[in-house]
Structure 1
Amino acid sequence: MTTALIEGLSMGLLLSALVGPVFFTLIQSSLEHGFRYAATLALGILSSDSFYVLLTYFGVSYLSGATYFQEVLGYSGGLILIGFGISSLVKKNPVRPNTGGILIPQVKKRSAFIKGFSINGINPFVLLFWISIASIVQMKKSFDQGDVMVYYLGILGTVFCIDLIKAYVAKQLSHLVTPKMMNGLNKVVGTIMIGFGVRMLYLTLNGSIV
């Protein structure tokens, strides 16, 4: 169970390092409406992720008994992670004046919870990410139900806590973060994602148990 927790925390840190619309929305919300508003938005993001966890985990578990499904799962999960990595490597963060050099997406004026749930939930890449995580979990034969729960809680808890930290330090962060820094972070995260994907493809090709 300790191994599951460590792996969950590690994957949560990796997911938290991804820079996208949610990151900038947290900063914008904290600057304009305060920490409590941004924290509620983060709760909406957590709820959206939790919904996708249930959807992908039970969906993948339902199909796990099908012939050759483990191989399909391994290859598709690995390719999705590699796709995320390549996308992160080539992504550039556009800039706009008066926002600390970072382009902050315009969002509709809704309640914080609905805003967070919607911005995270309507992004198709979020669903694809959780499909890849469900693929990894399904291939971990050493994991029992308790390990699986701890693994997911590690990911979700880490992401939520770091989202709160992002919101809390948003004012300072907005002056320190530059497009160059974000592009560098994207490249680091992208490389790690590709590494996870290649490893998953290798283990699947060799019939290894994760």
Structure 2
Amino acid sequence: MDIYDFKNAFLIGFFMAFMIGPVFFMLIQISILKGARAAISFDIGVILGDITFILIAYYGSRSLLEKIKDDPRLYFVGGLVLIVYGLITYFDKQNKKEALEHTKTIEVPVKSNYIKLFFKGYFLNFINIGVLAFWLGTVLVIGPTLDMNPNSIFWYFATVILGYAVTDLGKILLAKQLKNKMTPLVIYRMKRIMGIILFVCGIFLILKGFIPNDKIDNFIN
């Protein structure tokens, strides 16, 4: 995996850490109320949930990827998944007021039970089918670009998880400041921005499947 892939993977992990949802708010609140160790225990469970989804997406689609890795329709499918996920994120029914109420109503155990927090993080992330859809779209797109090389794919997604974990650690350490800045308007705008980014990435991937690579390179340059 070259340096470009490394940076790309790390950035994906960074942006994932700012996807607004129950996990985001729970991590901030646990960090504030129970401390960094409790939040890290919760976050390890969340990350393990992501790893589980990556394995499901990879091994569940591997045979298909091997057959059509040079087929432009693969980019269409991957791009379509990202577009749908982006639209869901952009048009989320949860409005600004509801987002603020959500941060107030999260229940955190009075005592710090690290094992319990670990499993809470794992299952809270695992039951979110949207996360699986995101990883499926990512695997469908990244796998063929790395020639379905298991070693390259492993290090790519390991870097994504590293970027996610490092960013989450920063969120844990800066939890109080982040909570003060997470106003309903900021939450609303962040969700819309993330939705637009996913939508644009999906459109780009669909175009990549039908436009020769040399023309794309000329356009970018």
TM-score (norm 1): 0.86
Which structure 2 residue ranges, 5 or more long, are not aligned? 217-221
2:180 to 175, 180, 197: 175
- Checking the alignment, whether the CA contact within 8 Å between 2:70 and 2:144 is kept in structure 1 is no
Structure 1 range deviating more: 200-209 or 187-196: 200-209
Partner of residue 4, structure 2:
3
Which structure 1 residue ranges, 5 or more long, are not aligned? none
| Match runs of 1:31-46 below 5 Å | 31-46=32-47
1:123 CA drift (Å): 0.3
Q: Which consecutive aligned stretches of 4+ in structure 1 deviate over 3 angstroms post-superposition?
A: 65-73, 92-96, 105-110, 141-146, 206-210
1:95 to 97, 110, 115: 97
Please give the alpha-carbon distance, in whole angstroms, between the structure 2 residues aligned to 1:61 and 1:68.
10
1:132 to 137, 153, 157: 137
Please give the alpha-carbon distance, in whole angstroms, between the structure 2 residues aligned to 1:115 and 1:9.
26
Identity fraction in percent? 25
1:32 CA drift (Å): 2.3
Query: CA-atom RMSD, angstroms?
Result: 2.6
- Checking the alignment, whether the CA contact within 8 Å between 1:94 and 1:103 is kept in structure 2 is no
1:120 CA drift (Å): 0.4
Partner of residue 219, structure 2:
none
Please give the alpha-carbon distance, in whole angstroms, between the structure 2 residues aligned to 1:175 and 1:56.
36
TM-score (norm 2): 0.82
| Match runs of 1:46-195 below 5 Å | 46-66=47-67, 70-91=71-92, 92-95=94-97, 101=100, 103-104=102-103, 106=106, 111-141=116-146, 144-195=149-200
1:176 CA drift (Å): 1.9
Number of matched pairs: 207
1:144 CA drift (Å): 3.7
Please give the alpha-carbon distance, in whole angstroms, between the structure 1 residues aligned to 2:84 and 2:66.
26
What letter matches 2:11 in structure 1?
S
